[in-house]
Structure 1
Amino acid sequence: MRSSLVALATAALLLAACAEPSHTSTAPPPKPAGPQAGSPTTPSGKTRIALLLPLSGRAATIGRSMQQAAEMSLFDSGGRELALAAYDSGATPDTAVDAYNRARVDGCALVLGPLFGSSASALAPLVKQGGANVIAFSNDEKAAQPGVWIMGIAAPPQVRRVVDYAISQGIRRFAVFAPRTAYGDQMSSTLQDEAAARGATVVGVEQFDPRSLDLTGAAKRLATDIAGDGKVAILMPVAPPQLSSALASLSAAEIDTSKVQLIGTGVWDAPGIGSDSALRGAWYAAPDPARRADFERRYLAIYGRPPERLATLAYDAVALAAQLARGRSGGSFSADAITNPNGWTGVDGPIRFLPDGRSQRALAVIEIQGDRSVVVSPAPSAFGQAMR
């Protein structure tokens, strides 16, 4: 614990406020569109990096955990050339825009965050006006565009990865049991597109009211849909605690989960997911958990509590900023530098940013085996078509 306190003290010394006064210039610079930008470097020569996080509102707990992970990363990455400052992006696009403008006035050269997709989308016009590039923590591919990259683990690639694995195991029939929400709609549509592209068949798509406690009706319709020969993989993009109700409804509809293959998305990547015996043998796609386990142990030792799941995004983003600052060009946060085709590697595994703002992830397929999860298909070691 003594070494952890020393690490924190050192990290604190490395953190410099983006609002540090910039050098005075005798000739006024050209006035850009939007707020007047300050110097991207501090008087001591550090590069200013902004961290936009929800430090107030409904997601403040997540925001604080991500801020602590960012501070931890600054120390671990040896980012002595960075001056990192956190700005409260709140829970709305307007508060995110205000935070971005404050960071821009302070001269920050790169913006890490915000967390929400709608907030990231709201920053795009400011980036187009000449503002700093954004690496957002959202996983919403709709928010992705040139200059605004999403770093979160998008849901469609998770479906593609687990569908590919199911097909490799001889499964050709698929079904969906999902909530009637925007997320459920997206996952249902993605499964149908991906199955069709691979010559597989979707035999049923049943969605239920997410506010209902009784999902039996939808489950019985699903049971009728999947009747026939051949094993069926049922996609259930349902997060705990509602996942328990969804699984119970399958049992009530007399769907034998031992005779179907349950598959899921990253919402299953949560502690205690294997406590329901019906999930034994189920598959989902996510970053390799072994990498995250070490991060979680060290975070717990420093801060005395486990990190929020999204904390790894902030950790990896700061490590990426440090690598960019040490780049061959003397430190560049340009689109060309960010979209390095070789990609980057962090706690959540390899990631590559694309020119259109999306990102590619190397995901593993994980099988739930009671109180532990096992990687049954390792994450690809190189970026390719299967990871699009």
Structure 2
Amino acid sequence: MLDVLFPHETDLDAWRDAFQRGRTPGEWPHGLEALREVDPAATVGSLSEPTLGEKVRGRILPRRRPLLAGGARRGGIGLTWDENAGRRLALREPRQTMVTGVQWITDIVREGRDPGRMREVLRALDGLWVTSRGQVDALRAFVGDDGPRIAYFRAGVDSDFFRAEPFPSGDAPLVVSAGLDRHRDLATLYAAVEIVRDRMPWAQFVVQDEGSAGAAVPRGVTTFDRLDPDELRDLHSRAWCFANATGDNLHASGHVVALEAMAVGRAVVLTRTPGIEDYVDDGRTGFLVPVGDAEALAERLLRTLEDRSLAVRLGQAARRSVEEDLTLRHFVDRLAGFALSVAGLSLDELVEDGRMGS
């Protein structure tokens, strides 16, 4: 019933091996093997880049419900994580029902960049889902009122892998910042670090920085390129809080890595962008600051680092908020429910059809 498909560049065998060695939280990328709890017959597979012929066919198809891939449509529900994989699904291996997440296109259009033929591709699908409320209106405007169904639901984190950890002992606070999203604002983050270290020179920062942003790294900052999820989890366990600065965007940039820190039991200090309020309760599970405001970011960091009891209280509340509604299972239930509804099914019907165990 459910076919979960990723670009072939995603090495599914390597992912599975890392999971078996305890290095990553999911056997499938993004933990989507949890969909087997809804449909034990769910499969995972890879999608190659469309051939030239498939791309040409895609350009001359009717606006809606096109005869894709030369007319061959397999049964079941094809499910992809983002619109780039969704494009491959539509052109290479179309299913009777096709559902994809949308991550980037709303910001591409908002910023005036060329979306290519993505509008036609998305209109050929049956359901689109986003994990930021800020994307909903922009996506509907992009695909049109007569386009596919759109759903918003919050993302989730594997709260067993990113388990709650005791607050670190000692008085030298560590702040972690991670993420590779193109909207990450390292210049503002580093400006805030300078302000914090002027008042607390013993504060330490560990920041994911590939160097592509060209921002000068301040004193007291240790940078890293990439870490496996288990290494990032261990880093969160040694931190007092997590911080990220992002530019203005619609897709709640950085919410997934922030959820990982929250699951470990750490407060988060983030930029307030559309949709991020659905993940962070300002003043209860962390703090939100205006876009590009290094002074506000520094002030909230100092407030957290100078008051251990506050950092502990915010972190505990962050973990509770994950357990209550932001776990991977919460997310998978929402995703599966939407995909099934797009296909005209319900979970009960899936059970009655014999695809679920007793």
Q: Please report the TM-score for the alignment, with normalisation by the length of structure 1.
A: 0.32
Find the structure with the greater CA-based Rg: 1
